[in-house]
Amino acid sequence: MNIQKIIILDFGSQYTQIIARKVREIGVYAEIYPFNLSKEKLLQLNPQGIILSGGPNSVYAENAPHPFAQIFNLGIPILGICYGLQLIAYLNNGEVDKSAAREYGRANLIIDKSNKLLDGINSNQVWMSHGDSLKTLPIGFEVIAHTQNSPIAAIQNAEKKIFGVQFHPEVHHTTDGKKILKNFARNICNISDNWSTESFIETTIKQIQNQVGNDEVICALSGGVDSTVLAVLLHKSIGDKLHCIHIDTGLMRLNESQKLMDLFRQNFNMSIELIDGSETFLSRLNGITDPEQKRKIIGKSFIDLFEIGAKQFNNAKWLAQGTLYPDVIESVSVKGPSVVIKSHHNVGGLPEKMGLKLIEPFRELFKDEVRAVGRELGVPEWFVRRHPFPGPGLAIRILGEIIPERIDLLQRADAIYIEEIRNAGLYDQIWQAFAVLLPIQSVGVMGDERTYESTCVLRAVTSVDGMTADWFPMPPEVLSKISNRIINEIRGINRVVYDITSKPPGTIEWE
């Protein structure tokens, strides 16, 4: 992107994406690259500043990741965070100590010398997470702050504009961390360009127009936030040359497809091709209970139906996809075998199969930024804040066989659950909440009658990115109301349980 920017070199920290997000939140554009980015490529990117991320290694470890050698002589301001600080020291003749006290959690930062990086911070609370620490200063550097356990907690070479901090300014618990990143970006790197949702929309509309020219574009609308915001942005860019196709899989939430159609009719003057695929999906899933097989059948059926639907737009040359930045950041070898979650490329292979070129306007955005773009474009707040929903839909929330009666049970239970969470004002505190239908029946008693009906699981988790998650401490009175309503209103469910497993060791979905 042709805008002033900061490049973050990733040394494998679990916080690297948070650094990029925090820098963008202060209105400065930032991109992440692997630690071994070449000097030539870095100079081509023309950044105004570089941040060296933290990482799990010790600088002395065999195969410890290092950046290219001349990085400190380019005249580009550098901020090293944690492992980044230790690299600055190690590569500039300082000493890193492995035996010093480890420090995890809150620490109190004491500023020793007025400096541009820590200028104007009001809170001294910083977040530490390190085993090694600096023993002696690198040549040309001075200490600017310390904590009780880290005599060298922040350093500078003011002349060369190279700074290092042992703590993590990017995490929430470093109270004035954003101010520190802002000082670096605005006052040390002198970045004046503003990265904002409005500027993104403006430049992206022009880019899309240049890229596709007079060609027509097809967009698969799943009903999720990403594809919906994408469709609205594309429509704003190329108007009627955009053709949206929505496939109702029959495995969506209650009245989902209808709500989506209403949303577009009421808020945007766009026509959408609605394909009712429920019969195809259900007949192909008949008798299938294995989760991965369910996913494969759904992926294939989706492609088949989409191809048929797209035939009427035979002038189309492009397929639009809502790929996000976390999907395209190159993974770094220092992370070791990277943590792989289930592969979710629901429509993978479509562009090649259909001979279409791919357009992915959100490749540089985080999810929160897509939401902000949606708001700016007039997508209603309730929609923009919706929880993520998996491509295979309720098929992976109905354990065992998928038959219309069980879809109906789950759709209604899920709708009650979500309605009550919204009523209790809890919806926005939760990353994902949904009901799951188990393939077992249990005994109950209603009135004088014995019942033998299905069990419904309620799941609610908090998370930042779906990679790790914690179960949400749902208030008992809310659970009680939901349980009563589900059992009273839905004949076929006589037991409701709440899932208290975090991820890991569990996954968010049950299949």
314 token code pair: 């035979």
- State in Å, rounded, how far the first CA of the chain is from the last one: 39
390, amino acid identity: P
Q: Does 341 bind ligand XMP (CB under 6 A)?
A: yes
The reply to whether 344 belongs to the active site is no
Residue 4 · residue 29 · CB < 8 Å: yes
By rule CB under 6 A, what string of x and - marks binding of each residue 379-418 to ligand XMP?
A: ---------x-xxx--------------------------
**What residues from 449 to 478 belong to the interface with ligand XMP (CB under 6 A)?**
466
Q: Is 318 left (phi over 0), alpha (psi -120 to 50) or beta?
A: beta
Least distance (Å) between residue 304 CB and ligand XMP: 18
Residue 24 · residue 48 · CB < 8 Å: no
Cis bond before residue 505 (omega within 30° of 0): yes
By rule CB under 6 A, what string of x and - marks binding of each residue 198-237 to ligand XMP?
A: ----------------------------------------
The reply to whether 82 belongs to the active site is yes
Q: Long-range contacts of range 135-139, CB-CB < 8 Å, 24 or more positions apart?
A: 135/94, 135/95, 135/96, 135/97, 135/100, 136/89, 136/94, 136/95, 137/89, 137/94, 138/88, 138/89, 138/90, 138/91, 138/92, 138/93, 138/94, 139/92, 139/93, 139/94
Radius of gyration of the chain (CA): 26
Residue 156 · residue 187 · CB < 8 Å: no
Residue 342 · residue 507 · CB < 8 Å: yes
Catalytic residue among 130, 146, 168, 246: 168
Least distance (Å) between residue 486 CB and ligand XMP: 21
Residue 446 · residue 454 · CB < 8 Å: no
CA distance linking residue 426 with residue 506, whole number of Å: 23
Least distance (Å) between residue 509 CB and ligand XMP: 3
Least distance (Å) between residue 466 CB and ligand XMP: 4
Least distance (Å) between residue 469 CB and ligand XMP: 7
Residue (27 or 326) nearer to ligand XMP, CB: 326
Least distance (Å) between residue 375 CB and ligand XMP: 21
CA distance linking residue 506 with residue 510, whole number of Å: 8
Least distance (Å) between residue 299 CB and ligand XMP: 8
Among 344, 385, 450, 491, binds ligand XMP (CB under 6 A): 344
Residue (278 or 346) nearer to ligand XMP, CB: 346
Among 342, 357, 422, 491, binds ligand XMP (CB under 6 A): 342
The reply to whether 330 belongs to the active site is no
Residue (89 or 433) nearer to ligand XMP, CB: 433
Q: Does 49 bind ligand XMP (CB under 6 A)?
A: no
Stretch that binds ligand XMP, among 193-201, 446-454, 484-492, 501-509 (CB under 6 A): 501-509
**What residues from 21 to 40 belong to the interface with ligand XMP (CB under 6 A)?**
none
- Give the up-direction half-sphere exposure of residue 222: CA atoms within 13 A in the CB hemisphere: 21
Stretch that binds ligand XMP, among 13-21, 78-86, 342-350, 418-426 (CB under 6 A): 342-350
Q: Does 322 bind ligand XMP (CB under 6 A)?
A: no
**What residues from 349 to 378 belong to the interface with ligand XMP (CB under 6 A)?**
none
Stretch that binds ligand XMP, among 4-12, 88-96, 353-361, 503-511 (CB under 6 A): 503-511
Three-class SS string for 207-275?
A: HHHHHHCCCEEEEECCCCHHHHHHHHHHHHHHHHHEEEEEEECCCCCCCHHHHHHHHHHHHCCCCEEEE
User: With the C-alpha atoms ordered 151, 156, 157, 159, is the resulting torsion angle positive or negative?
Assistant: negative
Among 124, 346, 451, 462, binds ligand XMP (CB under 6 A): 346
Which residue blocks in 401-475 are alpha helix, DSSP H? 404-423
Catalytic residue among 82, 189, 219, 244: 82
Among 24, 146, 246, 295, binds ligand XMP (CB under 6 A): 295
Q: Which residues make up the interface to ligand XMP (CB under 6 A)? A: 295, 341-342, 344, 346, 388, 390-392, 432, 466, 503, 507-509
User: Catalytic residue positions?
Assistant: 82, 168, 170
